[in-house]
Structures are given as structure tokens and as C-alpha cells.
Amino acid sequence: MRYMISSAQLILFNLVVSLTSNVFNPCSKIDSERDGRLVFGGESHEYIQYYYYSRMIRLNQPSPFVNGTFQKLVGDHGWIPDFPLQFYGANVTRVEMTDEGLIRMYEHGYIGTIDHFISGFVPSECHISIEGNLLALKWTFHVSEGTFKTTTLIHSNGKISFYYDNVPWGYEKYQLQFVGFYSCEGGATISVETVVDKKWVKSGTLVEYEVSGDCAIHNSIETCQSSATSNTRCFWCERANRCIVDNNKDNHDFKVNGCQIGNMRTERNEGNGQRESHHTLPSSYLNLCLP
């Protein structure tokens, strides 16, 4: 299989996701998607829940491991997924990767776009891996200040991840956006935008959008803990008094630690410059959250 993309494109350091599908149509609840709710956060992390997605941001993270072979893109390329792939709740039947650095999603018609770029006319290259249940793209932007690298991961379960590496000084001030356009009854279109604050844009930042499922509708510990389905697991976040999704075992400890009510002390590891958080979890809380 041959993949193609141009060696340069106009880029502004934003992530823009556009949705124009009638498949997922939450127009009556658009305000909750637009504003989101901070579940917990600190100097090195943040967890926000929106209507369809929840978003985790963590600094000083290792680069995501991708078990696949990457090939260089040159020009445009169309791809029909050979595994289940979802985007904003719609089943993706075709993906187009353009010479402008865009990823366009289609079901019966166009359902959205992922656009990941930096401002300026910058020479760049992209390598892609499609293997298992994962679509992965590694971008390299050759800016005057150095080499800027990003990794985009799109999972079959709807999770979308972004990792930043070698961010030159000054590029940390740009923002990361996640924008959706919803087609509502009567032909109206409503846009939703979630903005990642510019303070997070730096080397080692991992941004993860995870499908929230039905977790947010549960308003008690009992209903939250008993709401597990074949696709979604939830647990009760004590700090936010809110039910949140817990599908990824790799993120479970992060959510448990962030949701506990109690003292947290954060100190700097002088050896690697990373922050380490230390929590003391009551046994009753662990029994509640862990399966």
C-alpha cells in the first residue's frame, strides 16, 4: 500500500475537528459539549468532561508506543478501514488524507475532519501506520527554530490521542482546538469548540479524547458503579461528585488519584525535571473504584 502527502503545507498550531453528520445530533445538549466541566486538574494535568468526549491532558509523558510499520506519505491518499472505526459516534467507512495535512472522515457522507498543523509555510513530512485497530500518523515539521514532532492516534473505540515532541521555544504559546459542527433539525448547523490552553503545548504533552458513553448521566455512586456495559465502564469521582468513564486500564490510576479527596503533595524529580504526585488513598475508596 502506498501513502502520499506533500512535503510542505500551511500550518497553524491548532487541532480542528469538524462534524457535519446527522448521525450524532446532540443539539439540545450543545451547551454541555461547548463548556465542559473540569473534573480535576493541577500544574501537570487536567481532566475535563464534555457531552460526548472527556479530555485528559498530562505533561512529561513518554511517547506512545505504536506496534506497526510506518510508511511515508507523498500526496493524497484514500483508505477504507478494515476494522471498526468511529468518529463522534458515527461509523467511519472511508478516510481521506490530503496533501494539505487533513484527515477527512466519511460514513454515507462527510462526517468530519481532523486538521493538525503549525502556523507558517513549513516543510514537513508524515509517516503513517495502519495496523490492528489503530490509525497512527507521525508528523515532522522543519521550522526555523528546530524540528517539531507530533503523533496522532485514532483508535477503533473512538479514542483520539495527540502527543507533542521537540516543541521549539515559543511554539508553546499556540493553542490546540477540537471543533465540531453539528447538523440539527431544520438544516441549522451548530459549532462546538473545546480549546486546549496554550500552557499545555510543550514537549512531552499527551492529550487524549475518550468517548464518555453514558457515564455522565448517572448521578449517584450506586447507579454509576452498576452501569457497566460491554463497551463502557464507569466509576464515581469523589472529588467532582460525578460519574466518569473508565475504559482504559492505562489511565485508571491517573483518574483514581485525581478523583480522591485528600491531601496531595507534588515534588520535582531533580534527576529528570518531571513532577511526581504522591497520594494516600483510603482503602474504602480503592475498594469502590477498583474492580
Show me where the domains of the chain are located.
8-212, 215-291
- Using CA atoms, how far residue 69 sits from 46, 133, 163, 236, 258, in Å, is 32, 14, 18, 39, 35
Instruction: Identify the pLDDT of residue 208.
Output: 92
Query: Does residue 148 contact residue 125 with C-beta atoms inside 8 Å?
Result: no
CA angle 140, 61, 167 (to 5 degrees): 35
Grid cell digits, residue 42: 493541577
**Which residues, given as ranges, of the chain have pLDDT below 70?**
1-34, 98-101, 116-121, 170-192, 262-291
**How far from each other are the two terminal CA atoms of the chain, in whole angstroms?**
42
Quick check: pTM over 0.85?
no
- R_g (Cα) of the chain, nearest Å: 19
- Give the Cα separation of 270 and 291 in Å (integer): 35
C-alpha closest to that of 215 among 242, 240, 249: 242
Instruction: Identify the pLDDT of residue 6.
Output: 45
- Give the Cα separation of 108 and 110 in Å (integer): 7
78: which strand partners?
96
- Using CA atoms, how far residue 119 sits from 96, 116, 122, 168, 207, in Å, is 22, 10, 8, 13, 20
